[in-house]
Structure 1
């Protein structure tokens, strides 16, 4: 049996023998240095007077230097790098152009189609994927645009990706691509934890308390497990090495509420469900923050702003848990450094949006692609709503993370990505807890990763 220490603000816990009160051994929660790296996602002023074109311009400028380095490494320093305005089909020589990809897609939703539905014209059928064989790929720089043909597959990329393409002008407004490269991310220099300093973080997402009553028991098991109130002495000793819990979005809801046009009974029920779920979430967090630091990110269906980056959930939502300094409401995306490991991730919207506008269906592959593209959310603000940034693009990945995750996926997936310059990143797709009753453990010294399941009669973990 495990009993928490009398001081509720402490993160240690006591191990006692049997059902008695005699203390056999004390397990103290391991310490892990922490630095918040998410300040760039905090909105200081919400200015919507700027045009969205500015964010693409600054994205291209900020990424050009990294791409120039990749060009020289891959194709040599002698290959000419040109602007689109300098292309001349009469030269008939290979060159490199740098720009931002744009996909012309007939099936892409538009406000004009929505207006046509309001006027009772033929509505567009509901879709989860907007790819068509007639899609075209276009490259834009600061002054012009040109259609791309050739090696770069239009269905493997999305609008907003900055890249360099090698090829030549065909003379008919097209550029034939023979090769291409992405910015990738710069490797980071860090001193990994020694094998004796075992530390790990726990990742969970998609609690969906508003519409998943059957997840309450697994959720309580998760709470008891993290708190050290579950398992044998060896398991309790292991749990003392958990230094942080990150909840990656959709804690209140994991799906959209009913769509209603007026205040109806369905609307009132949704509001009541949301309020009750928020209270349950507060109770859940109140139990956890007595034992461990908890970072709470907003998700697509949580009561937070819809545009990326989503701002932290308001502390007033958690009157019980907020009395502890170990509760931290964070942004989505979220970036931090825990025990010398840089952790970066989202609640899943960027990965889901890339899947909707390309033929890449595997979330883990998309997660790796966004890392190679050097951008967390390349489709923002085209098909993924975001703030109109003017002089920065906070979604650019400037330094290679050690752990890179996406929440609210259908299943657990993981891979250790190794880049061309020795980059090592643990990619993690966190499953929806409401659907799988599973969380994910990432060991910070080795970057090993495995799921832990709390399904009915199924308390087990398996290393991947």
Structure 2
């Protein structure tokens, strides 16, 4: 068994065998240059007395100059750009505005009240789109219905786009073409001399009744801390320079039936399962942070605020792990630079919400769509809980990441996309670990993404389990 001594020396930690084994190799874990970038997602003094219309106004005001520049680049410098109040029937022009999708199947509070009063409930749906949906574009003063070359089913409310076409006599605008913000400016990645990895995991699901989930999770911790495998595998573990846990640390089973409408704080009335799950999380993090820096994001099932941006877990919840400076409790969304590689991502709420209200095929499609829209969470605050910002919209992408991820996906998926100015971005959908036993390793030097999986197989009456590790 390997012993993790967690010796901090010159910005590195050492992994080695017990002292009795004189021939055992010693592996040094390098500490990468790290710069936190999530400050814009931290909410100071909170006030929910404002109207949500302000965030749409701020979003349009911030993104209009960029959309105007993109439109002139695509359709020519002499392009006529109009506001809705200045439209002339039949004039070919461009409008920059915010999309609103009117959906007949969109859930509403009136339907929820009907269900509470034992009236006929609505059937459960995974998608809320239909053939009767309508697209409407609005700016600061007016709105207009859209028709033409714009895929209604792919669009979602809150997207800021530029459209080109003309208004018809019946008051509708025929869209002949459109453009979006596309990928913002990207800082080049610095060259690295060796392979260094960041491990991404999501959906640990602590507090669930699945024993195999806990077995795989402990094996993952042992692998990262150097207590698993032969010396060659331990040398590979030493190349993991940081661990990022992308939300849903606790299982949904630890929440009560009102959890979706109340803040998730631990109180005297908190179900015992939540308290035990948080204690278990603290013990697991203690093993990790003694060996490697760890960033912990909250998720939908975790004890923090419900609305985006979710604030970091309170350090008092994790008294053992919080004693180590290697533990970083971060907001959701998350942003940081690791060895010059810029990471940006969420725990998955924005992706799952867009999937409910569009025809996009999966998490990677949503990640690419939001990246090209220039906005992390366009459906907030319409169908996704969000703090009522009124002077700025922190979810607007002002710099292109190198790695863009989301958590709590059904399976691990990744791909690299390129932008119009040579931007290169790795998209990663991190799977739920409690159901897939899979995490992701991202190579900072090459931006390759590979799975690391753990599977358990029962051994009959002896109740032994053999763990297969693949990466």
Kindly indicate whether the alpha-carbon contact (under 8 Å) linking 2:6 and 2:290 is maintained by their aligned counterparts in 1. Answer: no
Structure 1 CA distance for aligned equivalents of residues 391 and 222 of structure 2: 46
1:164-197 superposed Cα distances (whole Å, 9 cap, x missing partner) = 0111111212111111111013222234223x23
Q: Count residues with an aligned counterpart.
A: 453
SS at match of 2:271: helix
Q: CA deviation at 1:256?
A: 7.1
Q: CA deviation at 1:213?
A: 3.1
Equivalent position of 2:107 in the other structure: 109
Structure 2 CA distance for aligned equivalents of residues 197 and 6 of structure 1: 22
Kindly indicate whether the alpha-carbon contact (under 8 Å) linking 2:254 and 2:271 is maintained by their aligned counterparts in 1. Answer: no
Equivalent position of 2:468 in the other structure: 459
Equivalent position of 2:265 in the other structure: none
Q: CA deviation at 1:271?
A: 1.0
Kindly indicate whether the alpha-carbon contact (under 8 Å) linking 1:347 and 1:408 is maintained by their aligned counterparts in 2. Answer: yes
SS at match of 1:56: helix
1:188-241 superposed Cα distances (whole Å, 9 cap, x missing partner) = 2234223x2322100000000111332111111100111111122222222212
1:268-297 superposed Cα distances (whole Å, 9 cap, x missing partner) = 998111111111111100000000011111
Matched, 1:206 2:215: no
Moved over 6 A (4+): none
SS at match of 2:194: coil
The aligned runs of 1:72-151 (5 Å cut-off) are: 72-89=72-89, 92-151=90-149
Closer/same/farther in 2, CA of residues 275 and 213 from structure 1, 3 Å limit: farther
The aligned runs of 1:46-61 (5 Å cut-off) are: 46-61=46-61
SS at match of 1:275: helix
Kindly indicate whether the alpha-carbon contact (under 8 Å) linking 2:127 and 2:355 is maintained by their aligned counterparts in 1. Answer: yes
Kindly indicate whether the alpha-carbon contact (under 8 Å) linking 2:254 and 2:274 is maintained by their aligned counterparts in 1. Answer: no
Equivalent position of 2:262 in the other structure: none
SS at match of 1:24: coil
Equivalent position of 1:264 in the other structure: none
1:281-334 superposed Cα distances (whole Å, 9 cap, x missing partner) = 111000000000111111001111100000001111111111111111110001
Q: CA deviation at 1:260?
A: 6.7
The gaps in structure 2 that reach 5 residues or longer are: 260-267, 457-465
Kindly indicate whether the alpha-carbon contact (under 8 Å) linking 1:193 and 1:339 is maintained by their aligned counterparts in 2. Answer: no
Structure 2 CA distance for aligned equivalents of residues 353 and 335 of structure 1: 21
Q: CA deviation at 1:122?
A: 2.7
Structure 2 CA distance for aligned equivalents of residues 256 and 70 of structure 1: 47
Kindly indicate whether the alpha-carbon contact (under 8 Å) linking 1:244 and 1:292 is maintained by their aligned counterparts in 2. Answer: yes
Equivalent position of 1:184 in the other structure: 182
Equivalent position of 1:265 in the other structure: none
1:227-274 superposed Cα distances (whole Å, 9 cap, x missing partner) = 11112222222221211101000111246735279xxxxxx9981111
Q: 1:164 aligns with which of 159, 162, 165?
A: 162
TM-score by length of 1: 0.93
